[in-house]
Structure 1
């Protein structure tokens, strides 16, 4: 772990070099010292290259503090001085009254992802650093997280098809303060960082005492790295077991109970987490305690185990295999009105492309009635998974269900392509709480 250095001594190529071939990189800049340092260092790196990514600065006003708009404007001014493109982003709606940290984070990333995609970026850089990493490990220890949570933040992760890059994880907060001081930029101070309502702010107050007992930032960062190595090894074992899983076109997954039961408990939990996240179309998997209960119920004893639901997925054990099917749940599955064309991901599980002359189409789950009318189209298909697959309707009339081989009649002049990405999601090693 490096100590504070003059800004000019930092080797920017080593910090950012792995992203040199990206066409566009979005920088999340709040106006605090850490994110201003990210902007300054990224600009210096880009200036050192003959060719390289276009940098775009994004700054979010969460709507929680009246002075935030002025701070975002100051980020815009600083970006302009460096010749960097800038967008100010503003949250709408009422301010959250509970779990403010999580609500603000979700709003921030939602706005950042949308703006980054609009700019053509597939990488969003944040200013997380070594002290953030140490705090993250301690917070997750306090929550009772498992191996994957204790691995803390990776240098790069993925969410909603956006790569989140953290090039500054090897630097300390004092390093970044030195960068900002040398650049002549004036950082803002977010009062939330000192607000005792927030767990991270409370933790920062006791960090000096913990450091005195040997739990300093370098030690905690090294510990998180060891957990990441362990998590990577577990994922290798999970990958091997998941290769034996059967995935059909509707996104249903089958896995032999005996194969799962033969694995160590930690591997079983990771395999179940990845299957549930893939089949359920979710960003995150379920909580650890729910996984432990599910693994115990589904791998102990013999015979059939009644179906249960977790993370939007129905799980049952029959004929020596576990069967995972998407279920509609209380909120239901997405319904999208299509006028002319549509291209995107439906329910996090299917890539859908539609070109249609019809102006009044609805992209929605096939449902029970649709499944019954097409029941012969998928041999040995699982009913809930078929009902939860995408189809096209005109009013209430089924027009097309390409997943099950039912194409629109020529007179509708519709071209529809639908493909499950559940097999790809099964291979995704993303961890819970990776932001």
Structure 2
């Protein structure tokens, strides 16, 4: 995280400079209307500048503007943003979110926002999504995680690129000071929306943004560089252990030989099988390993028995999602994507799995109970094709959590 060598923070970002940033993050699809690059645009200065710069870089782009419906004025702001983008020749699509259930509003909004953007990107043929996190965002993220007790994985901050769901999320501005983004818009004559919540000290990130000294911001660069170095080494060690001692099974469970057992491996596998945003804390993993079996993060750790000499990690049945509508492309339990078109609901097999021969299927019975099926009026209409090849309902693994090298979205900084 080293800012670009530009001393004048009032200097707009030129096309060549932005193209150089994008070149480092390639390869990119051909500049064709069949494969546009998507841009998440909130209407604020950062994302508007990113959209303007992207249009100078390539012709085939698509701005995605989300009306989150959390404030009365959000619909008007989305339309205003779309108009401003259209006025400079940027194609745009507004995505309107449904109402959220009460509780954890910000968290639900972030999840729904990304789900809508991902779905729209896939439908438009986009494999890449640009987001406008910048240098100051990165500095604030590092300090927030440092104070929160994060290890190297957290202190490494936001990655320039990461896979999330079915798209690659790219942050080309992590070395760019936000003042230069505003200068870019001023030079282009493009207006933006000022979100009043960006000055509300009730939010932790706002307090960090306003209170960090220049010395602390500089220190964040060194902290992150050391964390990245350490994490790369840790990831290499973890990858080697997993390759030698762990086996991923198509039904969404993992078997681990005892020779590969350690706290980091267990934390990684719990996150993988449970499709969690973060690994469980080291202390909680340590307590789990003091027992022969147990549950953590929606995942059961059990003795392997006939499945090997070590442990198995499976989805905890009681943590599975309830029934959802069997819409094509629906994701159940955050883990399984439905590719069929049969009417009904998607829900776990649970007791309906009791008549299946787990030994013949080569899968623990407790795993089968957590797999999805198609239900109608309380009756199981179809098993997943994992268990009934040829006539089962088509499901594919939808978990977006890698075992190593992972990078997650910053929970406090929206798209």
TM-score bucket of the superposed structures, by smaller chain: 0.7 to 0.9
Q: In 1, Cα distance between the equivalents of 2:70 and 2:344?
A: 39
Question: What is the CA distance between 1:16 and its match in structure 2?
Answer: 2.0
Deviation, structure 1 residue 344 = 6.3
Root mean square deviation of aligned Cα: 3.1
| Partner secondary structure for residue 116 of structure 1 | helix
Q: Which residue of 2 aligns with 1:175?
A: 180
Give the Cα separation in 2 of the matches to 1:10 and 1:187.
24
Q: After the TM superposition, which residues 56-95 of structure 1 pair with which residues of structure 2 at under 5 Å, given as runs?
A: 56-93=62-99
Shift in CA distance, 366/86, structure 1 to aligned 2, threshold 3 Å: same
Aligned partner (choices 8, 21, 33) of residue 29 of structure 2 = 21
Shift in Å, 1:116: 2.1
TM-score (norm 1): 0.79
Deviation digits for residues 123-170 of structure 1 (CA, Å, limit 9, x no counterpart): 221111000100111111222222211111011112222221111111
Question: What is the 5 A alignment of 1:77-156?
Answer: 77-93=83-99, 101-156=106-161
Aligned to 1:230: 230
Partner of 2:248: 247
1:113–1:247 CA distance, 2 compared to 1 (3 A): closer
Equivalence for 1:383: 365
Match of 1:30 in 2: 42
The equivalent of 2:280 in structure 1 is: 287
Question: Alignment partner of 1:329: what SS?
Answer: helix
Distance (Å, rounded) in 2 between the aligned partners of 1:329 and 1:350: 16
For residue 316 of structure 1, what is the aligned residue in structure 2? 302
Note closer, same or farther for the CA distance 1:260–1:40 as it changes in structure 2 (3 Å cut): same
Distance 2:408 2:90 in 1: 33
- Aligned 8 A contact 1:60 1:91 in 2: yes
Contact 1:58 1:87 in 2 (8 A): yes
Bigger radius of gyration among the two: 1
- Give the counterpart of 2:53 among 14, 29, 41: 41
The structural deviation recorded for 1:95 is 8.7
Work out whether residues 273 and 286 of structure 1, in 8 Å CA contact, stay in contact via their aligned partners in 2. Answer: yes
Q: 316, 319, 322: which one pairs with 1:327?
A: 316
May I ask how many residue pairs the two structures share in their alignment? 394
Distance in 2 between the 1:187 and 1:130 partners? 19
- Aligned match for 1:367, one of 347, 350, 362: 350
1: CA distance, partners of 2:112 / 2:344: 31
Residue 186 of structure 1 aligns to a residue whose secondary structure is: coil
Secondary structure (helix, strand or coil) at the match of 2:317 reads coil
How far apart are 1:370 and its partner, in Å? 2.2
**Contact 1:278–1:349 (8 Å) recurs in 2:** no
Unaligned runs of 5+ in 1: 48-53, 262-267, 409-413
Could you tell me which residue of structure 2 aligns to residue 51 of structure 1? none
Deviations 1:403-423 (A, max 9, x none): 34x457xxxxx464556678x
Q: Residues of 1 paired with 2:386 and 2:101: CA distance? A: 41
Residues in 1 aligned to 2:257 and 2:357: alpha-carbon distance in whole angstroms: 28
Q: TM-score, normalised by structure 2?
A: 0.83
Contact 2:15 2:56 in 1 (8 A): no
Tell me, yes or no, if the aligned pair for 1:59 and 1:89 is still in contact at 8 Å: yes
Distance 1:205 1:401, change over 3 A: closer
| Residues 74 and 286 of structure 1: CA distance in aligned 2, closer, same or farther (over 3 Å) | same
Write out per-residue CA displacement over residues 177-222 of structure 1, whole angstroms, 9 at most, x where no aligned residue. Answer: 2111111112221110111111111112212xx32xx212x44134
1:331 CA displacement: 5.3
Q: How far apart are 1:255 and its partner, in Å?
A: 1.0
Secondary structure of the residue aligned to 1:112 is helix
**2:260 aligns to what?**
259
Mark the CA change 1:178 to 1:147 in structure 2 (over 3 Å): closer, same or farther.
same
Seen in structure 2, the aligned counterparts of structure 1 residues 184 and 248 have a Cα distance that, compared at 3 Å, is: closer
Give secondary structure in 1 for the equivalent of 2:125.
Answer: coil
Compute the displacement of 1:118 (Å). Answer: 2.6
Q: What is the CA-CA distance between 1:295 and the residue it aligns to? A: 3.4
Distance 1:250 1:108, change over 3 A: closer
**How far 1:113 sits from its partner (Å)?**
2.1
Conserved? CA contact 2:326–2:346, under 8 Å: yes
